[in-house]
Structure 1
Amino acid sequence: MINLWDIAAIDQHAHNLLTPSAAADYPYPASFSEGYDAEIVNNHARHSLFYRRSLREIAQLLECEPEEEVILQRRTQLGIEKLTQRCFSASKLEAIFLDDGFLADEILPVEWHQQFVPVQRILRLEYLAQNLMNEVEDFGCFLERFRSEIDPPPKGVVAFKSIVAYRTGLNIQLTPQEAAERSFYTLKQEAQDKPLRLADKPLIDFLITQALEIAAKYRLPVQFHTGFGDPDLDLRLGNPLYMRSLLEDKRFRNAPIVLLHASYPYAQEAGYLASVYPQVYLDCGLAVPFLSVAGMRSVMQQLLELAPTSKLMYSSDAHNIPELYYLGAKWGREVLGQVLDEAIKNSDLTAKEAESVAAAILSENARALHPNLKIRQKVEGRGQKE
């Protein structure tokens, strides 16, 4: 099989690690499941193929027995800094892009992660808008502040991100400003003294199109959660085919759209969109490493059935614990290598072409999509290959 550990990867979508105090509130299996119900976490998450496979791989990395209690003891012995250093070094990463809008009150800051690897930031649009709505009473002032926060994009921000799939679905419609304004005041009225949660379709759709106009102005990528996630999501509305009207709108043509998580289980649909819309790109995070080995391989094959290899990028969607960075990097390379080997056998690619494709998916496509990125450097530490 092709050895891809010589290629330093750009993890183009991930999340900050939890603070030690916050991490203490989560059972270890919680980081290996998209479910958060106590019964799922405590009684079922340990029985996924992903979890059972991961315990052995983490134990090998940490040089201990592949038992949960032993791994937890070893993690405590190392401490968060040494544990993170070991996971990041073994991952052989050139850079990571962090969405710091997830569990924002429980995570370590972007700057903390920079001691291990170069970091760029992803700005989560709904998190920004929701915070502004809690501060501002007038819609005109709110809209002015929202736009000023992203135009120009803040220093260090390499992409915007939307979780509209979670809130109201990917069927994003052009919405008159008047409708968005009415929604703004209705939400403010309903919230009163409670923290406001932005989950109104006219307002979210309006803000997404505002952000896309600005992104197009700067040719800044906009990442969209697509496909599976936690139970807050209606999976039916996470199908990227719902985005057709948005993708057809010429005003947004210069804003690259990145469909996250392989759009699983809509991987073939995502691959089709990338094959016909020049601004559409894909990533494989979350599907890799959360699925079984056969599942990961199947998804990677589906993405490449039709999509140009110049449209696919590596990510881990790692969150909460540093081990997920390593597991994503390991299986991103392993599965990609397996699929490319099969492509060589099928005469889709030559061996030389497969090597070029691997480099493109692991780092070069992300670098090309972010032309102002200044992260190229020699990465210390070698990855581990079983």
Structure 2
Amino acid sequence: MADVTALQRLIYHHPIIDNHAHNILKADSASNYADYPFESITSEAQGEALEHHAPKSLAHIRAINQLAELFGCAPEVEAIKSARDKEVKNDYDGLVRKCLEGTHMLLIDDGLAADGVEPYSWHDTFAKAPSKRLLRIETLAVELILRLVQRVKKSQDDLLTEEEQNVAFSNLWTSFRYFFSTTIDEALDDPAIVGFKSVICYRTGLDIQTFSTQEVAASFVTYFRTLLKTGKSRIEEKAINDTLLLTVLERLSKRRDETGSSKPIQFHTGLGDSDIGLLRSNPAHLQNLIEKYSNVDFVLLHSSYPYTREAGYLASVYANAYLDIGEVFPMTSRDAQISILRQSLELVPGTKLLWSTDGHYHPETFWLANKQFRQALDALFTKYVDKGDYTPAQAMETVQNIMFSNSNRLYNLNQSADIPSLSSSQSQSHTSSLDLFDPVSASSAEEAFKKFLAKKPHVEYIWMQWVDYTATVRVRMFPVSEFAKILSSKRKVGICLAVLNMLQTDLTVPPDPKCSGQFILFPDISSLCRNVGLPSKSATVMTFWKDDNGGELEGCPRTTLQNIVSKCQKEFNVKMLVGFEIEVVFMKAVKKENASTSYSPWLTNHSWSNMTSETVQALPMLERIAQELEEIGIRLEQFHSESSPGQFELILPPYSPLASADALIKTRQTITNIAAQYGLRATLHPRPYSSAAGTAAHTHISINPPELEDQFLAGMLHHLPSILPFTFPQEASYKRVVEGIWSGGVWVAWGYQNRETPIRKVSPGHWEIKSVDGLANPYLAVAAIVGAGYLGLRNNMPLEIKGCDVDPATLSPSGRSALSITTRMPSSLEESLHALESNEELQDLMGKNFVARYIGVRRGEREMLNAMGEEERRNWLIARY
């Protein structure tokens, strides 16, 4: 299922905001296992419980097995320590960077006392954005108190009686509390501090009470005397802890009342070491406080485990309560993590869950937490989608909220997620990918090519391909040694500009076919892929068109698509995936007495999604196609018989738009090559049989975030007639613009899961564009569709056409008018060309000179085809498409 693949891509590649973490050890402390036991990566235990028993826990054993993958060593603690010690010594920064891969920002509680850690600002270079601080209020209180100690010690000898000392210490409490409140206010003004943190759970529990001034002063006197006598600074007195916490809440509430904004406060809840009182760590104790301070945002940390459901209740019924789902990764087993995540979702809205690693000391704690969290998301959300609890788009939105958006909003971080391209090699085991090399890790095209040849030593020739305006795939073939020269810029591949006006027959048409000048083929090494399905020691690379100076050439189909997609991302932070459904009809070629070729049905006992006694004959070929594509990383999501005789549908996974069009071309070529070996012609003709269903290239487009779907859809609908010259580029295409054949209908309309509208909404931000066929250049088709959506975004276009749940053709004029369905689809190529000629906005976006040339090619092609008889024209198209 294409959308599940997109969901998994999002899970494994979307950057995260880690809303609660701690400082990482300095390099010279990273291997100090005596002070910072390595076993603590998966356990809060201490002493004998940590040393002798924690390593036998399932959570620890799983972590060791995963760390063995990270370090490339045996899954044994000592082997891992040995391997990591070498990395710590040789390249500690590299290890930290590897462990924080995928982290956009860290929110660091730097109040966890330790001498061997780096300051919070040190972490800035390892994440996408600089780190922010979480101010731990108990640590702050002790720091402020210790500043007073020296002054008090100096004056202590002058105090004659214990009563006088009590008065002095009580007055000191009053001064300290004022100093504390002022410091909290300063922190509220400090942009480096984005929130507060309390560990009162460790001190005196979450059952917060109100104490009188006299009670607090008396507790402070007792505490201060002990501090002066023993040096023990930790505040254990409940009256002091509770009062300090309430002071912070009052300051946060007051700031919200005065300015309309404040900062959240995090509470350690649930899971902790043996220093914690487990019963007092239940977040249910905070209910009255959450209710009283309704304008203060409470973050319940660490999944509140084992009180996840109690925390979930609070986060579900109080607008100001949020649940963090950290620390249980990697502290608990896989099953426990999935269960905790499932419990979190039982009641809590997807907008109230936050992700954190609680990573601390050892950088591997971050790596394990993020890895295991993404695995749990995959296991749970794909199952929810499979069961229909979420649509894929709803699941993707929820995952993105948990990983990034909720923290971004709650802490007012104003960050934008820099989502990496989810094409080919980055997908790895979680996605479909074109098989060659990892472009991210290749330092140059030349190195990437060498890496490819090392993996595929049998490849001796490289085909440089481009798709012209008639959707004809053109190719130049080079020995690998010559292609290496092209990559190193020692050789240029120039193509005469006249081909921009060329038809399939190699004749040129107006306007202005140039007999001089050239454009340069520039290989896109990320598309390099070996050829399968034919006896050839070759590989294919797609190309961009450049001018003689290396600049962009207007009208290059791949550049046009890439530029429009980039505009969506840069101007509106909209990213997208595209997936294609390939419909193809397998036919038999029949030689006539006059030596011409006609085409007849291969299978006649054939129907939709049915394996008839004849359809079974196609299985060996279909399975071979699937296997050959699998070998180059294009993993079909499904394939099945369609309605027309000998017609099948093969569904490709989603990729980035450019990679998706590349995969479509490669898949079609593979299908054609293999079909020929079975003596068959695979055709994309839009309607080879007038009495049967047509053949399309349904195009799925999903945008992220989906919140902008109305403007994007409005743009697609508004410009749809002008899009058709790129998606329905020949007169034969309009044989599918017919009522009642489930090909998209005859009205510009959309509907949720409606097959009789040209645009079918599948889920939020995800549409199927039905008005695309196999005669179209896929780069230009997608560029026009996305370009129309972009114009809708740019113009903030309202969605005036309402969703239609029936065939619009069956509605009365007033019924269509009520839905604002007023425009008929063009019923001929000339109608759609006229629409494009009058659409200045779309022409400007795609390039006016290019559009004029493109229109000329299409009119010249139509004139050539109209000179043929109907049967000759049908056979001519089947032979070429």
TM-score normalized by the length of structure 1? 0.93
CA distances 1:346-385 after superposition (whole Å, capped 9, x unpaired)? 43211110010000000000111022x1443637897986
Q: Distance in 2 between matches of 1:86 and 1:7?
A: 16
Contact 1:284–1:314, Cα closer than 8 Å, also in 2:
yes
> Runs ≥4 in structure 1, deviation > 4 angstroms?
379-386
Question: Per-residue CA shift, 1:47-105, capped at 9, x if unaligned?
Answer: 1111111112112122222222221122122123221011112xx01111111111243
Amino acid at match of 2:294: R
In the alignment, is residue 209 of structure 1 matched against residue 246 of structure 2? yes
- Between the aligned partners of 2:43 and 2:332, the Cα distance in structure 1 is 10
- Classify the secondary structure of the residue corresponding to 2:115: coil
**Distance (whole Å) between structure 1 residues aligned to residue 21 and residue 429 of structure 2:** 22
1:178 to 185, 206, 214: 214
Q: Which residue number in structure 1 is paired with residue 681 of structure 2?
A: none
Range 168-177 or range 223-232, more displaced: 168-177
1:16 maps to which residue?
23
Letter in 2 for 1:66: P
The CA distance in 2 between the partners of 1:281 and 1:384, in whole Å, is 34
Deviation by residue 1:230-286 (Cα, 9 ceiling, x = unmatched): 00001100001111221121xx22210000011001111111011111100001111
Q: Which amino acid aligns with 2:25?
A: L
Q: Which amino acid aligns with 2:136?
A: R
Which one of 138, 163, 167 corresponds to residue 126 of structure 1? 138
Secondary structure at the aligned position of 1:160 is classed as strand
Query: Who is 2:122 aligned against?
Result: 112
Closer, same or farther: CA 295–176 of 1 in aligned 2, 3 Å:
same
Greater mean deviation of Cα atoms: 297-306 or 64-73: 64-73
Structure 2 residue corresponding to 1:221, chosen from 239, 256, 264? 264
Candidates 264, 272, 278, aligned match of 1:235:
278
Question: Does the aligned pair in 2 maintain the 1:173–1:246 contact within 8 Å?
Answer: no
The runs of 5 or more residues in structure 2 that have no matched partner are: 153-171, 256-260, 431-881
TM-superposed CA distance for 1:192, in Å, is: 2.0
1:1-386 alignment, distance < 5 Å: 2-3=7-8, 4-23=11-30, 24=32, 25=34, 26-37=36-47, 39-79=48-88, 80-89=92-101, 92-117=102-127, 118-136=130-148, 138-153=172-187, 154-193=190-229, 194-216=231-253, 217=255, 218-249=261-292, 252-371=293-412, 373-376=413-416, 378=418
Extract unaligned runs of 5+ from structure 1: none
Q: Distance in 1 between matches of 2:68 and 2:177?
A: 50
Deviation at 1:292, TM superposition (A): 0.4
Q: Which moved more, 1:338-347 or 1:274-283?
A: 338-347
Q: Higher Cα Rg: structure 1 or 2? A: 2
For the residues of structure 2 that align with 1:279 and 1:385, how far apart are their CA atoms?
Answer: 39
Structure 1 counterpart of 2:726: none
Q: Deviations over 1:154-189 (max 9, x none)?
A: 331111000011100000122333322221111001
Which residue identity lines up with residue 143 of structure 1 in the other structure?
R
In structure 2, what is the Cα distance between the partners aligned to 1:278 and 1:152?
Answer: 26
1:241 partner letter: A
How far off its partner does 1:341 sit? 2.0
| CA-based RMSD | 1.9
Q: 1:170 to 1:383 in 2, by over 3 A?
A: farther
Give distance in 2, aligned partners of 1:270 and 1:73: 41
CA distance, structure 2, for counterparts of residue 30 and residue 338 of structure 1: 26
CA distance in 2, matches of 1:344, 1:358: 12
Deviations 1:208-228 (A, max 9, x none): 011112223242110000001
Q: Distance in 1 between matches of 2:214 and 2:386?
A: 58
Conservation of the 8 A alpha-carbon contact between 2:141 and 2:180: yes
Secondary structure of the corresponding residue to residue 214 of structure 2:
helix
Structure 1 residue matching 2:12: 3-state secondary structure: coil
- Higher relative contact order at CA 8 Å, sep ≥6: structure 1 or structure 2? 1
Q: Which amino acid aligns with 1:204?
A: N
For 1:11, what is the secondary structure of its paired residue? strand
Q: Assess if the C-alpha contact under 8 Å between 1:176 and 1:206 holds in 2.
A: no
| TM-aligned CA deviation for residue 344 of structure 1 | 2.1
Q: Distance in 2 between matches of 1:280 and 1:254?
A: 10
Cα deviation 1:17-56 (Å, max 9, x = unaligned): 123444403332133210112x122211211111111112
For residues 276-334 of structure 1, the C-alpha deviation after alignment (integer angstroms, 9 at most, x for no partner) is: 11100001111122110000000000011011111001111111100110111111111
Higher mean C-alpha displacement, 373-382 vs 316-325: 373-382
Residue type of the alignment partner of 2:320? Q
Distance 1:59 1:279 in 2: 41
8 Å CA contact 2:23, 2:117 repeated in 1: yes
CA distance in 2, matches of 1:267, 1:8: 25
* 1-structure distance, mates of 2:121, 2:216: 35
- Cα distance in 1 for residues equivalent to 2:401 and 2:96: 26
Which one is further off, 136-145 or 318-327?
A: 136-145
